[in-house]
Structure 1
Amino acid sequence: MKQRSLQSKLFIAYLGMASLILFAFAAFFYLFVSGRLKESQISAMNTLNSSFKTQVDSAILDLDTVSVNINYSNMSKSILDQKFDLNISDSMLSDMSDLFISLSGTELKADQVNLYDFSGYVLQAGLSTMVKKTDDSRTEWLQKAREADGRKVITNPYLTYEYSKSAKYSQWMISVYRSFTNQYRRSVGVIETAKQCKSIFKSIISYEKKNHDDAASVYVFNQDGDLIYPYDISDSESSKLQDYYTLTDSSQTSSRLTSPLTDKDEYAARIDSGYTGFTYLTVQSKSAILAPVYQMLQILLAVVAAFLLASVIVSYRLSRSVVKPVKHLKHIIQRMELDTLGQEKVTSYPVSVNELEELYQAFQFMSDNLKDSMVKLTQAKEQEMHARNMALQTQINPHFYYNSLSSIMVLAENGDNDTVAKMCRNLSLIMRYITDTGSTTVSLADELDYVQKYLYCMKVRYQSSLNYNIDVDESLLSEEVPKLLIQPLVENAIKYGSNCAPPWTISVSSVIAENYWKITVTDNGPGFSEEACQKIAQNLAKADQNPGLPELKINGLGTVNVYLRWKIFCNGKIIFEYGNTEDGHGIVSIGRYISEDQEITQH
């Protein structure tokens, strides 16, 4: 699983929380506002329906009132003769017309009043005033009026040229029929009061003109489910709109349906008139109802996007403010070394979080304590190293003394006083070099001088069986080295290089390269066996795994002893090589790498 950085996790967490809050608010706002808006819009549609019903019912009531007034008017019955024959004179027509107009009122509740008899004549007053024969277009409605037994009969909208002054212009009309009775309450004719559709549906037409494309669709159906508004459409369009009537229920004032015209979701408000039997439907598409919500949603999305952008910036700055000090602390830890502990004061770095400030203070406290501990440990190590070096300096193979004293006695018995004096002088200088506790380090020149005296003593002992040669470049003689660094290697070379027939030859030489120097001790003995190389390798590996000062050895310093002391002295950057030459003789090299600011001039 791929790990993320702390900053990315904090950034995602901050941004996720902000996004969750914003989108939750947006969703709540949309659902709440859309619900309230739908309720408000449906309530407005119901109010519209109620106003349409009131206005249309009022117009139909006016027509019905005129017909009732005519039916119950004694004047109309006195003007007409008892036979109720409408084939009347001009004076009687004028009287009846005036009567109808007076009963219609000053507001002309009816545009046209027609009085039919059963002899086939009609008396017209209003838009058209005359007496004429009845045509067959009225037969159906006249029959319905007679069968209604005094109740009103409302027609569907119809198109007629009858009341126009010009045959080019037609009019949409609605009529109310009612039977006409004489003074004996016997039906002798039919009264028709008619009004133009544009007047009856005036409120609906005015609403549609005022709102244009934003207006809801208004449909009016009669009690048989026939569409009566809009009235000026084709039969095919009317049949499609009639599906709205079947899709709604009279028991519900509002409902959600699928448009039979567009197959889109719509909301319909319905109200039924108990007076006319008309059903009023106001239909509005869901998209139109929620259009303000969609506009508000766009604004809301823009606001959410702006807040998200702000959240991204704030989240980034917050996560960075937390992570930046941690990274700063990490870089301090990465570049911290033992010799720089406690030098850099991390508490001076400004932080804005209390926990991070506490972390900085804790790290500073740890760094200071660690510095103190390392100083104490270093001092203890230095003291231990000094003590061990002192012990090593005082340590010497007793056989060397025994053999040297034996050689002096033999020389004395032979009368070689000069050699005895030189031998004693060298032994004295060797003992003084070893027992001098003033310093644990010397120049390479002093160490090689000690090696020279040691080899001289060994030469006196072995005489012609031992030869030696020291050839070290003068540029290296000033290099500082621990005491007894080269002598143990020479001692081992004599010890293991003499396991063959004499003469034995010991060589001490130097190598200077571009970036290192080394001292090489070579013998002409049988060299290192494979077993010896493996043992030395194991001892060196064990020493690397358990770093520290070497253990003292009673019988000599040992190869590992020299390796560890040289490694501690050089801080690990050393050269230590062992093996055999091409001729199979033993060779050991010890040296170090030259730093950039150190330069050795080779002579």
Structure 2
Amino acid sequence: MRYRFGTLQQSLFAYYSAVFIIFSLIVAGLLYVFLASDIRQRSEEQQRQLGVSIVSNLDQEVVKMNNFSMNIVYSNLVKEHFSHYLAPAEGSEQTMTSDPALYKDTTTLIDVILAIISSSNTAKQANIYDVNGKMLGAGAFNGQLSVDLTQRPWYKETWERSGWRVIQLLEGGALPIPTGEGKSDQPYISLTRVYKDGNYVSQGVVEILQDAGTLFQHLNELQANNNDLRIYVVDEQNTRLYPLSSDADASQAGYFDDVDLIQNLSFPPDTMQEITDPLSQSKQMMTYMTSQETRWTVIVMQSKHSLFASLNRMAVMFIGATLATLMLILVLSYLISKRVTLPLHRLQRIIQKTGENDLLSGQDSGQLFKLEHPGSIREMDELNDTFIRLNQQLLQSFQDRLAMKSQETEARLLALQSQMNPHFLYNNITNISIMAEEGMNEQIVAFCTNIASMLRYISTPGKNGVPLSQELDYCERYLECMKIRFEDDLHYEFHIPEEMKYIQVPMLMVQPLLENAMKYGLGDSPPWRLNITGDMDAVQQTWQIHVEDNGPGMEPEALAKIMHYIEQSQEWERMPDLEINGMGLKNIWVRLKLWYGTAAHMQITNKPSGGVQITIGGSIRKEHD
């Protein structure tokens, strides 16, 4: 179903706003997509460059260790001392204490290696092994040891590679260092390669050890400066080299899932991808790359929130700017639509201010509907002139219609009142006949006196209503007649505030309620009681009168029928035709509607304790004068 706007200004405002808002949202959306894509690309490049710098730094450290090992392997001095003192020999074992020359050359070799270490901080320790397990160390430990070469963690792989380097992560407890430097919680990076003589015959193994904390110092500094940054380093066998903790630290538990993503080839290198942290379920941005030098894989992870912090700030600013723009658009649309419809509104206000009194005053229509700023829009002037002509015709028709309606209303009120008169006479003549049959002569005299007074009241013209005090006096005389007939079986009380007795009410408005109670409320055994009470609301300017009896109450069907009749009357376009027969409650309600209009009130309820309460009311100043 198509929506219809209430006013022309609303329609223009809606169309202008829709066009401007849609255009603004399209421009804002395209601009946001462009800026967001630019920020994302720069963030991705930033993370990739961070990974490249980490790989470059690690390559430099490993290359220094590799160069150190190559210097030892190709050093003529090392070859001379190694072949003379550490090569396999038949006969008794030599020692530095038994051979001063061996001691001198060994210390000289150690001094050369220490000089290299101290000059560049290349390694923590350098060890040279022969095939028989003799070891010469320089660095943290300086001297000789006899070890089981086959028990070293790198032995098999190093020997198989036959001269190519082997890099492994070793715990301090696995190092052959008796000086206390090899602590079990201190990891080292070990670079080993087979040492060969001039004939390319394997003579032993050269081992270069570097403290892992020193090798990964740059990574530690990066993470210390950024709490949302996480870095992992793994070798070709997916053995974790960094972080250094060997414990199953819960904060690094997600590392294995990250490695699985890479190994499954679902995540290409050098590109940033979004993943979910398996521990915290937070969104992380991850990039990895593999070093061509070491074949190590460096994994860089950052919180999506922190990495795209600038994007989030831009989004907030963009939303704020968009909302401000939309508000400005709404204001401009309102001003434009108001400017376009302003002349029409002026004419509308003039018409709305024109009331019934203006039409009845006889004022000239040309002056009554004159615009404050004529000639601003030609169409508005033409519309105003046309309306003036129509108003002249409307004024004459309105006056004729008003006169007819006033005469019709007066006729209906008089007709309703006249319908009550024969109804009253019929009921009371019946009562006198019953009393005569019972020989109640004195009571008949009093009864007739009251009836005479009541006839004078109802024969008085009352089209403009009567004070409530006169209506109540009429009601008391009626109840005195009933008291004569029923004696002590009937009790009644009036509780009406004094200030209510001066308000104007229609004639014969309360007595029919008492007559209805006498007719239908005496079904039970006596005594019968009637209570007539009233109240007035000074704020709402309304009054109410309540008539209660202690009879059996109304039948639910009859009560529902009369209440349905009252509710239906709210939709009447004109009063229904009236009949003499069956007056009573409907008659009273119709007269209330004619007299008070929408302020008329009537409510009928069965009391829980028994009996019926009927309430009528209206405004203190009636609507129809």
Q: If the length of structure 2 is used for normalisation, what is the TM-score?
A: 0.53
The reply to whether residue 118 of structure 1 matches residue 136 of structure 2 is no
- Per-residue CA deviations over 1:342-369 (Å, capped at 9, x if unaligned) read 4368564289xxxx7232343466579x
Deviation at 1:18, TM superposition (A): 4.4
The reply to whether residue 279 of structure 1 matches residue 294 of structure 2 is no
Distance, in Å, in 1 between the alignment partners of 2:116 and 2:365 is: 117
Structure 2: runs of 5+ lacking an equivalent: 88-93, 97-101, 397-462, 465-625
Contact 2:117-2:123 at 8 Å conserved across structures? yes
Distance, in Å, in 2 between the alignment partners of 1:239 and 1:294 is: 29
Match of 2:109 among 96, 107, 112: 96
- Per-residue CA deviations over 1:168-214 (Å, capped at 9, x if unaligned) read 78532101001112233211110001111222223222211222x24
- Per-residue CA deviations over 1:357-392 (Å, capped at 9, x if unaligned) read 232343466579x59x989xx9xxxxxxxxxxxxxx
Change (3 A) 1:304 1:374: closer
The reply to whether residue 297 of structure 1 matches residue 297 of structure 2 is no
Deviation at 1:107, TM superposition (A): 1.2
Secondary structure of the structure 2 residue equivalent to 1:192: strand
Q: Please give the residue correspondences for 1:262-341 in structure 2 after superposition, counting only pairs within 5 Å.
A: 262-333=280-351, 335=354, 340-341=364-365
Match of 2:260 among 238, 246, 250: 246
**Cross-structure match for 2:190:** 175
Q: Please give the residue correspondences for 1:100-499 in structure 2 after superposition, counting only pairs within 5 Å.
A: 100-104=113-117, 106-134=119-147, 139-160=152-173, 162=177, 170-211=185-226, 213-214=227-228, 216-235=229-248, 240-248=254-262, 249=265, 251-256=268-273, 257-333=275-351, 335=354, 340-343=364-367, 348-349=372-373, 357-363=377-383
Distance, in Å, in 2 between the alignment partners of 1:172 and 1:21 is: 63
Distance, in Å, in 1 between the alignment partners of 2:268 and 2:113 is: 41
- Per-residue CA deviations over 1:463-512 (Å, capped at 9, x if unaligned) read xxxxxxxxxxxxxxxxxxxxxxxxxxxxxxxxxxxxxxxxxxxxxxxxxx
Name the aligned partner's letter for residue 243 of structure 1. D
Deviation at 1:243, TM superposition (A): 2.3
Deviation at 1:22, TM superposition (A): 4.5
Name the aligned partner's letter for residue 278 of structure 2. P
Distance, in Å, in 2 between the alignment partners of 1:9 and 1:120 is: 97
Contact 2:132-2:149 at 8 Å conserved across structures? no
Change (3 A) 1:179 1:274: same
**Cross-structure match for 1:33:** 35
Distance, in Å, in 1 between the alignment partners of 2:364 and 2:381 is: 18
Name the aligned partner's letter for residue 190 of structure 2. S
Deviation at 1:21, TM superposition (A): 4.1
Match of 2:44 among 42, 51, 59: 42
Contact 1:226-1:242 at 8 Å conserved across structures? no
Distance, in Å, in 2 between the alignment partners of 1:221 and 1:58 is: 17
Distance, in Å, in 2 between the alignment partners of 1:346 and 1:303 is: 46
- Per-residue CA deviations over 1:241-268 (Å, capped at 9, x if unaligned) read 1221221347532142333334444332
- Per-residue CA deviations over 1:19-68 (Å, capped at 9, x if unaligned) read 43454444434433332222111111111111111110111111111111
Contact 1:49-1:271 at 8 Å conserved across structures? yes
Greater Cα offset, 300-309 or 48-57:
300-309
Distance, in Å, in 2 between the alignment partners of 1:289 and 1:330 is: 60
Distance, in Å, in 1 between the alignment partners of 2:374 and 2:73 is: 102
Secondary structure of the structure 2 residue equivalent to 1:343: helix
Bigger Rg over Cα: 1
Name the aligned partner's letter for residue 63 of structure 1. M
Change (3 A) 1:191 1:307: same
Distance, in Å, in 2 between the alignment partners of 1:233 and 1:121 is: 30
Change (3 A) 1:25 1:234: farther
Structure 1: runs of 5+ lacking an equivalent: 379-512, 515-603
Distance, in Å, in 2 between the alignment partners of 1:163 and 1:261 is: 41
Distance, in Å, in 2 between the alignment partners of 1:246 and 1:8 is: 61
Deviation at 1:15, TM superposition (A): 3.7
Change (3 A) 1:3 1:239: closer
Distance, in Å, in 1 between the alignment partners of 2:95 and 2:44 is: 55
Deviation at 1:105, TM superposition (A): 6.7
Contact 1:174-1:195 at 8 Å conserved across structures? yes
Q: Please give the residue correspondences for 1:499-510 in structure 2 after superposition, counting only pairs within 5 Å.
A: none
Secondary structure of the structure 1 residue equivalent to 2:260: helix
Distance, in Å, in 2 between the alignment partners of 1:230 and 1:350 is: 86
Contact 1:220-1:229 at 8 Å conserved across structures? yes
Deviation at 1:331, TM superposition (A): 3.5
Distance, in Å, in 2 between the alignment partners of 1:164 and 1:76 is: 24
Name the aligned partner's letter for residue 192 of structure 2. Y
Change (3 A) 1:344 1:112: same
Distance, in Å, in 2 between the alignment partners of 1:9 and 1:87 is: 108
Deviation at 1:104, TM superposition (A): 4.3
Secondary structure of the structure 1 residue equivalent to 2:119: coil
Deviation at 1:165, TM superposition (A): 5.0
Distance, in Å, in 1 between the alignment partners of 2:22 and 2:179 is: 70
Greater Cα offset, 258-267 or 65-74:
258-267
Distance, in Å, in 2 between the alignment partners of 1:374 and 1:81 is: 134
**Cross-structure match for 2:59:** 57
- Per-residue CA deviations over 1:265-308 (Å, capped at 9, x if unaligned) read 43322211122110111122333333222222222223333333
Deviation at 1:341, TM superposition (A): 4.1
Secondary structure of the structure 2 residue equivalent to 1:260: coil
**How many pairs are equivalent?**
371
Deviation at 1:147, TM superposition (A): 1.4
Distance, in Å, in 1 between the alignment partners of 2:247 and 2:25 is: 49
Greater Cα offset, 19-28 or 64-73:
19-28
Distance, in Å, in 2 between the alignment partners of 1:230 and 1:4 is: 70
Change (3 A) 1:263 1:91: same
Secondary structure of the structure 1 residue equivalent to 2:319: helix
Change (3 A) 1:52 1:111: same
Name the aligned partner's letter for residue 168 of structure 2. T
Contact 1:70-1:76 at 8 Å conserved across structures? yes
Greater Cα offset, 261-270 or 328-337:
328-337
Distance, in Å, in 2 between the alignment partners of 1:66 and 1:340 is: 116
Change (3 A) 1:128 1:206: same
Distance, in Å, in 2 between the alignment partners of 1:281 and 1:205 is: 14
- Per-residue CA deviations over 1:300-322 (Å, capped at 9, x if unaligned) read 22333333343444443333333
Change (3 A) 1:3 1:299: closer
Secondary structure of the structure 2 residue equivalent to 1:179: strand
Secondary structure of the structure 1 residue equivalent to 2:237: coil
Change (3 A) 1:233 1:79: closer
